[in-house]
Amino acid sequence: MDGKNKIQWAMNWMPVLDNIRKGFISNKPFKDLKISMALHLEAKTAALAYTLKQGGAKVRISGCNPLSTDDEVAASLKDDFGVSVFAKRGLTREEYYEHLEKTIEIEPDIIIDDGGDLTALALKDKRTYKNIKGGNEETTTGVVRLKNMEKAGALKFPMFDVNDALMKHLFDNRYGTGQSTIDGILTATNLVVAGKNVVVGGYGWCGRGIANKMRGLGANVTVTEIDPFKSIEAHMDGFIVKPMEEAIGYADFVITATGVKDIVTPELLKDAKDGVVLANSGHFNNEVAVEDIEKEFGKGKVVRRNVKAYTIGKKKAYVLSDGRLVNLASGQGHPVEIMDLSFSIQALTAKYIAENPPKQVKVYPVPNEIDLEVATIYLKSYGIKLDKLTREQQRYINSWQEGT
Ligand code: ADE
């Protein structure tokens, strides 16, 4: 019952996806098509899977991370909404891959992935990818992997880079990750942020969101970066910019959002402040190098749900949700209205693939008209009105003769 309530609650706050679902029910864009999905399986994701099913698809879904499935939602999606589900929270690596295998074995026409594991698995066997007309990738890390596959000649079907759609990354990565990371950290720790030193690893869209929300809660925020331009942006946004080896000594919280491994290593931890809390918001659990930390300092001790303590000499360091993405493993994922946008882009891009299967094997950007359609439905849903250019203004911005 709770799973169904969670899904229905999410659907109530997803007006853009609701609008798209109504169109799918009438037009059945996925009639006779099979869709395999690997996404963080929680309430908003269930709304997307059901929307695709309502559009006529046969849908199979698994999780895309061993710790991010909401079991109540997974059960309800199967029992109440009739989607084939292969997902459970707390899977071993082997079980996680068995679930992905089940999802891909239907020889899908379309795949929807978050992080690239389903895509990489599909590519291992021609039988599983031979029918794929195209697929979508949700996240920054997955897109980096896709581009590496493309460069290496390993990609065998077209994929769309959903992450870089404007209506995805401008809101999901910044406002979504910003808020949900705080949700995860505060749920796991119940600690105060005001007055604390928070170090944010990475100043991409996600890092920007986290740094700004943490500042809003009264933290003193330091940013670490490798990119000269992003580091200047962080500096001008009013954050301290320092290398991690300097920042770790005064950090109360370190939050990683880089997409790169080994941001917090055992070596660095030796210089950390006693009681530092380590949280990762990147896709994989290697930004806080938990395996190496355990090799050096032994298995952590569970001191609270989703919190493990490690003893480093006389000091303690606390790792949240085993270094897995804290916003889903300890929190509820991005806010509903944010996922409404991301999953509306997903739904319309899947429809685009069904109706216009792309010819070339490469990573495609999401067509501009899809971004615009999602933005237009959003503005209408929330009653936000825009100004319109007059004819004279249109003529003016399309001319060059008029100056000072
Ligand atoms: N909920 C479902 N997918 C998500 C994602 N990629 N990030 C945060 N919350 C989510």
Tell whether 244 and 306 lie within a shared domain: yes
Tell whether 215 and 91 lie within a shared domain: no
Residue-wise pLDDT for 266-315, tens only, equals: 999 999 999 999 999 999 999 999 999 999 999 999 999 999 999 999 99
Residue 180 — φ and ψ, nearest 5°? -75, -25
The one-character DSSP state at 174 is I
Sheet holding 197-201, edge to edge: 240-241, 220-224, 197-201, 253-256, 276-280, 315-320, 307-312, 301-304
Ligand 1 centroid distance, CA of 138 (Å): 9
Confidence of residue 73 (pLDDT cuts 50, 70, 90): very high
- Does residue 91 form part of some domain? yes
Ligand 1 nearest atom to the CA of residue 177, by list position: 8
- Does residue 401 form part of some domain? no
**Quick one: what percent of the chain has pLDDT higher than 70?**
100
Identify the domain containing residue 138 by its residue range: 2-168+334-381
- Does residue 402 form part of some domain? no
- Does residue 395 form part of some domain? no
pLDDT at 141: 96
Residue-wise pLDDT for 17-38, tens only, equals: 999 999 999 999 999 999 999 9
Tell whether 203 and 318 lie within a shared domain: yes
Tell whether 237 and 145 lie within a shared domain: no
Tell whether 150 and 28 lie within a shared domain: yes
CA distances, 22 to each of 5, 32, 34, 350, 361 (Å): 21, 19, 20, 15, 31
CATH number of the domain within which 202 lies: 3.40.50.720
Ligand 1 centroid distance, CA of 336 (Å): 10
Tell whether 346 and 324 lie within a shared domain: no
On whether the CB atoms of residues 330 and 184 are closer than 8 A, the answer is yes
Out of 329, 346, 373, a domain closes at 329
Does the Cβ of 70 fall within 6 Å of ligand 1?
A: no
CATH number of the domain within which 119 lies: 3.40.50.1480
Ligand 1 centroid distance, CA of 40 (Å): 6
Q: Which residue's CA is the closest to the ligand 1 atom numbered 2? A: 40
- Does residue 403 form part of some domain? no
pLDDT at 403: 77
pLDDT at 122: 98
- CA 210 – CA 334 distance, rounded (Å): 12
Residue-wise pLDDT for 145-188, tens only, equals: 999 999 999 999 999 999 999 999 999 999 999 999 999 999 99
Nearest Cα neighbor of 226 from 244, 209, 208, 238 is 244
- As given in the structure block, the two tokens for residue 289 are 């190098």
- Does residue 100 form part of some domain? yes
Does the Cβ of 138 fall within 6 Å of ligand 1?
A: yes
The structural domain count of the chain equals: 2
Tell whether 154 and 9 lie within a shared domain: yes
